Structure 1
């Protein structure tokens, strides 16, 4: 069984599923760049709970957790099978995790999965994030889940490297990113390259424009889970770097693709 990489992706607007662009094309080619997983565990920014929960649904429904978008987006379905065995394994590795018998796949999960694995033939499930617990907790979750990579599981963090929707000004995807967005994304890239986990965990104090890029933390926490799932000394590399709407850094970071 091939050891799976682990990767964090920016899922951006739900329109990523429909609109062509650099990140749309990156996502469409994502599945072909790594071994086919036995199952996928998505840590999505759009499932926030006080303590960890993992879905054990046999047939996860496609959750359209958004409004104001074209009808074609609401008609999209992603009928991948669930992964109850994986859910049980997650609960074993992460004591205190509750099994959820109802949760489907929110757009933080099904949008990237629909692009990367359009056949919907890989069992997939979700693990929630604990926003109030902060980055160190998310990192520890990744450390606990690390053995899954040797069990054919793709750990996919789905959020956004920058996420301040209060600054949204224009629906035009291709526009110059704001300086405070690029400064933050470049700082993260530098700290990841230096394997400076301590600074990354303290990004709100140490990064330029940290709180401005993340008024709330849920969209960055999946990155810390992916970083935690790396082995000691294993480098994280950039899989993709791009910007949309001038405010969203759509960077993808993870282990080397060929694990």
Structure 2
């Protein structure tokens, strides 16, 4: 099997699978043009721990880690099998790089199952999760990805799931896509320029260098998974951008694919 790409997905609101005003079919289109993985290792913004933990659950539960949404959302189950052997390998590779990591049985939070439901609706791709550390910086999460890089050679797709911009206080849930705050485009434009140029140093220093960084990410747990996806990619990755628009005025829905080979986009 050739090396798999790594991904960063903006998983949007939990209602993504049931709200026709939000982009959802595009996730299936993305999956259809990617190589099919034998398993997925998911780093979601919604599983946060002091040190990295990989889930060894054989049949991970669907965690509804949100409140006040339509009943139909709580009735969704995503019965994908777990990938405990992938979790164990991830921990071994992290430990080999001097990164303390452990395992435990853990379900799939909505940062994992929402995009996977859209990409692989048959729930037939095994998934393991790896937690993030929101008290640690982007460089830490980039190093996590670097340690996990060999997994892509063995049919495991490393996916970071968060949101390219995430400030719920700046969101307006009645806004139309055309009402997007122009500062969203300024931030994502800077970020994508640095991604395309593979300017890792600038990306890791985004909170100081990127325009409106603190406005777009008052706390950066929703962006940290992208650094693991970059780290897990090859050094000369080719970048694909799937831009799905900006919703609720401040929440950009953009997905990134890092593929082996190619020149900067």
TM-score, structure 1 normalization: 0.95
Q: CA deviation at 1:137?
A: 0.4
Distance change in 2, residues 1:63/1:216 (3 Å): same
Q: CA deviation at 1:20?
A: 2.7
Partner of 2:246: 243
Q: CA deviation at 1:216?
A: 0.5
Partner of 1:32: 32
- Cα RMSD of the aligned pairs, angstroms, is 1.6
**1:135 partnered with 2:145:** no
Q: Secondary structure at the match of 2:31?
A: helix
- Structure-to-structure mapping, 1:247-258, within 5 angstroms: 247-256=250-259
CA distance in 2, matches of 1:158, 1:171: 25
- Structure-to-structure mapping, 1:217-236, within 5 angstroms: 217-236=220-239
- Structure-to-structure mapping, 1:138-177, within 5 angstroms: 138-172=141-175, 174-177=177-180
Runs of 4+ in structure 1 over 6 Å off? none
Q: CA deviation at 1:242?
A: 2.0
CA distance in 1, matches of 2:201, 2:261: 27
**1:208 partnered with 2:201:** no
Given candidates 97, 102, 111, the residue that maps to 2:101 is: 97
TM-score, structure 2 normalization: 0.93
Q: CA deviation at 1:221?
A: 0.5
CA distance in 2, matches of 1:81, 1:125: 9
CA distance in 1, matches of 2:36, 2:142: 25
Mean CA deviation greater in 27-36 or 155-164: 27-36
Q: Is the CA contact (8 Å cut-off) linking 1:81 and 1:123 kept in structure 2?
A: yes
Q: CA deviation at 1:175?
A: 3.8
> Gaps (5+ residues) in structure 2?
none
Partner of 1:115: 118
Distance change in 2, residues 1:6/1:74 (3 Å): same
Mean CA deviation greater in 165-174 or 152-161: 165-174
CA distance in 2, matches of 1:51, 1:44: 14
Q: Is the CA contact (8 Å cut-off) linking 1:43 and 1:126 kept in structure 2?
A: yes
Deviations along 1:155-199, one digit per CA (max 9) or x if unpaired, are 111000000001122244534210121110111011111111111
Q: Secondary structure at the match of 2:130?
A: strand
Partner of 1:48: 48
Distance change in 2, residues 1:106/1:183 (3 Å): same
Partner of 1:10: 10
Partner of 1:84: 84
Q: Is the CA contact (8 Å cut-off) linking 2:233 and 2:260 kept in structure 1?
A: no
Q: Is the CA contact (8 Å cut-off) linking 1:18 and 1:73 kept in structure 2?
A: yes
Q: Is the CA contact (8 Å cut-off) linking 2:4 and 2:259 kept in structure 1?
A: no
Distance change in 2, residues 1:173/1:97 (3 Å): farther
